[in-house]
Structure 1
Amino acid sequence: MNRNIVTTVLLSIFISISGFAQDKKWSLEECVNYAMENNISIKQTALDTDLADQDLINAKGNFLPNLNGYATQDWNFGTITNQRTGNQLAADTRGNSFGLNTGVTLFNGFRNTSIYKQAQLGIESSELQLNILKDNISVNVVNQYLNILLNKENLKVAEEQVAITEKQVIQVSELVDSGVRPRADLFEVEAQLASDRERLTNVQNSLDLAILGLTQLLQISNEGFDVEDIELSLPEVLVKHKSSNEIYDYALQNRPEIKKAELDIENSILAIDIAKSAYYPTLSFGAGLRTYYQHFQGQEDVLIVGDINSGFDIISNDFWDQIDNNLGYNLGFRLDIPIFNRMQTKVSVDKAKINKERIAYSLDQAKQDLRSTIEQAYTDAKAAFKQFEASQVSLNAQKEAFKNAQESYNSGVMNSFEFEQVRNRLVNAEANLINAKYNFVFTTKVLDFYLGKPLTD
């Protein structure tokens, strides 16, 4: 009994959740935000920024002194050297030594400074790369979203045409039964209905594929997924910007692709400095602390002190006494001067210079690509706007033609085949206007994107 109750409750919850998921309609802003927060590629690229942070911490560490401790345990058999007197003894011993060492690089041709600056650039570069990825995914989300809306409008037109044709089938069937129309007219209308239903199926399939494309981009299930309708207004980007140069000038100063390419050049210059640092001497400072303990096997840890005149005393010389008495310190500077390293430094410097030139060309290429993309988008937007205006004129003309054809058809002046020809032109005009409208909106969204405007506006 309890199991049945639990099953019923869980089933109710599941049905409620499923119903909520199917009823929810995603807005464009929700889709973009979800992609920004959950896309796996974005998460992976964000981790590159964390790695760059660690590189910066590592670069800072190059300026700090190191500190190492050591401890040893030794066993010696046979002849050994007494650590205090230097005499050779035939004895088995065991001993320990302990120490601390520290060192710091004072100068190495500014290598550490250049590495630190590279690490700082690495953080900026990884953040720019993340922004580039987010921008690209945002554009794809907007494109897929608009594609869904496009297919939704096409679906409405297709459904309306099926409904109209179904009514025509009924009307023509009644006229045929009453002997007003020949049966051939009914066959033509029925054939048109089959064609309209086929078109409806194709549009529905296109809508399903568009939804699938967006959900795959969001990396969620397409089951029950739907989007909110948007009242599209024609953008004014072409009115505000008379040429693509204005958009390009803005994008050149603000797009992360260009900033990243510029950072890559700065990074390549630092790489040259790092390679050149091998020409310079390296000055370092080091210090150490050491002590040791020595024990002769089978003997007590004692020490004989004194002289012949005053006499000799035997005192304890245990572990802690030796550790204290044998404690010593050292410090010093070390200067390493490079003289000849088989041309390796020269090759490294030359390769770094060549790489800088290659990266400089990459910046030029990035600028060219940006200009080409903006000019193409601007040209596409102008063409799409002209197409939209032409499609509006065409649709208005086809509506008038259809209105006249319908009157002619109802009065028996026009046959079914001729009437369907006119109606098909009207359907095509409606589809062309819808496609032109969304094509224009998307191309102008691309221009807004390069102007730094939110894509969800």
Structure 2
Amino acid sequence: MILFQGNSLNLQIEKNEILVKQSELYLQEAKNNITLSVLESYLQALYYYEGIKIAENALASSKEELSQAQKKYDNGAIAKLELTDLETQHSNNQYTLVSNKNMYDQQVLSLKQLLELDPSTDFQIENISLEGLQILIPDKQEVFAKASELLPDLKIYDLNNESLEKDVKIAKAGYFPTLSLTAGLNSGYPNTMDFIYREQLKNNFSQQVGLSLSIPVFSKKQNKTNVKLAKLQIEQNELDKIAASKTLYSKIETIYQNAVANQAQQNASETARNNAKLSYELAGKKYEFGGLTATELSVSRNTYLNAEQTYLQSKYLTSLYQQLLKFYQGESLTE
């Protein structure tokens, strides 16, 4: 039994405790990755859900326009070509609605898989309103400082450094003598003697206790090599942490820039959407009284739908990047 080996046994115990803490950080990192995946999937599902509503409104409008066009055609007010154009547009709107519903269903399925739910589980997406929601975008330097302090991304390297420092001390323990305790029990019992077993055991029973000291005089530079390798591991870990820190900052920088850009685009596209909607409504009234052709009405409708889609996309992208910034600051994503 080893009594002393340069304190390497205690150092190994301390290192194992550090490794347990490090494993907990890896687990937290995995949970965080799942959280981010769920967030992105959820907002994508909301985006498709609103896309369904836009497609339904477009289909209802084209149905009404087609009905008006049919009456005009029956009365000889418009040519067959105009009626055909509106029929084509109505069919396209039907296809768009079916396509949007399919994309929404696929996204809900992906969300179920992330949450490890059975595909047959009744699952409804909670629809939240993002209209007029303006959140102050935090300073990216503050976000990075909080992320470095709170998230496991860099703390893993700090614990790994502590573990590697223990490795250096364990390697240096090889320079110290090893003190071991030896003990033994012995019975010289032979089965050829006439003495009964208990008597022979009593007369021939012996005990030994001893100490042995091993001094490392020559180890072929193994101890020196082990110490050097352990120190190199520390240097490598420091470089890895620097690289991880740069990667983390780059992520936050990208998210910040996207949040700023999409928030500006959301504000601009909201105005464009409102103007396009008003123009389309006026175009519909003009068409009703014969002031516009079906082609001109279709152009106005498509302009409005494109503006609506642009606004919808920028709105959810803005929300996504704002939520990501909250996450990197250690804030809850449920609010």
TM interval, shorter chain, is over 0.9
> What do residues 78-136 of structure 1 show as CA deviations (whole Å, max 9, x unaligned)?
xxxxxxxxxxxxxxxxxxxxxxxxx3x22211211211111010110000000000011
State the SS of the aligned residue for 2:185. Answer: strand
Name the CA distance, whole Å, in 2 between partners of 1:119 and 1:273.
14
State the SS of the aligned residue for 1:400. Answer: helix
What is the one-letter code of the residue matched to 1:275? A
Counterpart in 1 of 2:152?
256
Name the CA distance, whole Å, in 1 between partners of 2:136 and 2:161.
33
Question: Could you tell me which of 224, 233, 236 is aligned with 2:135?
Answer: 236
Question: Could you tell me which of 208, 222, 225 is aligned with 1:347?
Answer: 225
Q: Paired residues, what number?
A: 333
State the SS of the aligned residue for 1:221. Answer: coil
Greater alpha carbon shift after TM alignment, 370-379 vs 220-229: 220-229
State the SS of the aligned residue for 1:295. Answer: coil
Task: Tell me the CA shift for residue 232 of structure 1.
Answer: 3.4
Q: Structure 1 regions of 5+ residues with no counterpart?
A: 1-102, 303-316
Counterpart in 1 of 2:49?
152
Answer yes or no: is 1:210 the counterpart of 2:88: no
Name the CA distance, whole Å, in 2 between partners of 1:276 and 1:217.
47
Name the CA distance, whole Å, in 1 between partners of 2:55 and 2:43.
18
Name the CA distance, whole Å, in 2 between partners of 1:380 and 1:256.
24
Higher-Rg structure is 1
What is the one-letter code of the residue matched to 1:118? K
What is the one-letter code of the residue matched to 2:299? Q
Question: Could you tell me which of 161, 165, 173 is aligned with 2:58?
Answer: 161
User: How do 1:48-447 and structure 2 match up within 5 A?
Assistant: 103=1, 105-223=2-120, 225-233=122-130, 234=133, 236-238=135-137, 241=138, 243-296=139-192, 301-302=193-194, 317-447=195-325
Task: Say if 1:165 and 1:192, in contact at 8 Å, map to a contact too.
Answer: yes
Task: Say if 1:385 and 1:440, in contact at 8 Å, map to a contact too.
Answer: yes
What's the TM-score, normalizing by structure 2?
0.95
Task: Say if 1:278 and 1:345, in contact at 8 Å, map to a contact too.
Answer: yes
Task: Tell me the CA shift for residue 231 of structure 1.
Answer: 2.1
Name the CA distance, whole Å, in 2 between partners of 1:158 and 1:230.
17
- Higher strand residue share: 1
Task: Tell me the CA shift for residue 437 of structure 1.
Answer: 1.2
State the SS of the aligned residue for 1:293. Answer: coil
Name the CA distance, whole Å, in 1 between partners of 2:123 and 2:309.
22
> What do residues 389-435 of structure 1 show as CA deviations (whole Å, max 9, x unaligned)?
01111111102211221122122121000111111111111111211
Name the CA distance, whole Å, in 2 between partners of 1:286 and 1:401.
97
Q: Evaluate the alpha carbon distance shift between residue 324 and residue 121 of structure 1 in structure 2; reply closer, same or farther with a 3 A threshold.
A: same
What is the one-letter code of the residue matched to 1:409? Y
Task: Tell me the CA shift for residue 225 of structure 1.
Answer: 4.4
Greater alpha carbon shift after TM alignment, 195-204 vs 384-393: 195-204
> What do residues 329-383 of structure 1 show as CA deviations (whole Å, max 9, x unaligned)?
2212111011222222222222211111111111111111111111111111111
State the SS of the aligned residue for 1:236. Answer: coil
What's the TM-score, normalizing by structure 1?
0.70
Task: Say if 1:244 and 1:378, in contact at 8 Å, map to a contact too.
Answer: yes
What is the one-letter code of the residue matched to 2:295? F
Q: Evaluate the alpha carbon distance shift between residue 392 and residue 148 of structure 1 in structure 2; reply closer, same or farther with a 3 A threshold.
A: same
Name the CA distance, whole Å, in 2 between partners of 1:423 and 1:158.
12
What is the one-letter code of the residue matched to 1:280? F
> What do residues 221-249 of structure 1 show as CA deviations (whole Å, max 9, x unaligned)?
333643332323436241xx2x2001111
What is the one-letter code of the residue matched to 2:31? K
Task: Say if 1:166 and 1:193, in contact at 8 Å, map to a contact too.
Answer: yes
Q: Evaluate the alpha carbon distance shift between residue 107 and residue 142 of structure 1 in structure 2; reply closer, same or farther with a 3 A threshold.
A: same
What is the one-letter code of the residue matched to 2:232? I
Task: Say if 2:12 and 2:170, in contact at 8 Å, map to a contact too.
Answer: yes
Q: Structure 2 regions of 5+ residues with no counterpart?
A: none
State the SS of the aligned residue for 1:288. Answer: strand
Task: Say if 1:109 and 1:280, in contact at 8 Å, map to a contact too.
Answer: yes
> What do residues 50-70 of structure 1 show as CA deviations (whole Å, max 9, x unaligned)?
xxxxxxxxxxxxxxxxxxxxx
Runs in 1 of length 4+ with deviation above 6 angstroms?
none
State the SS of the aligned residue for 1:350. Answer: helix
Name the CA distance, whole Å, in 2 between partners of 1:446 and 1:389.
20
What is the one-letter code of the residue matched to 1:398? A
CA RMSD in angstroms, aligned pairs only? 1.5
What is the one-letter code of the residue matched to 2:107? A
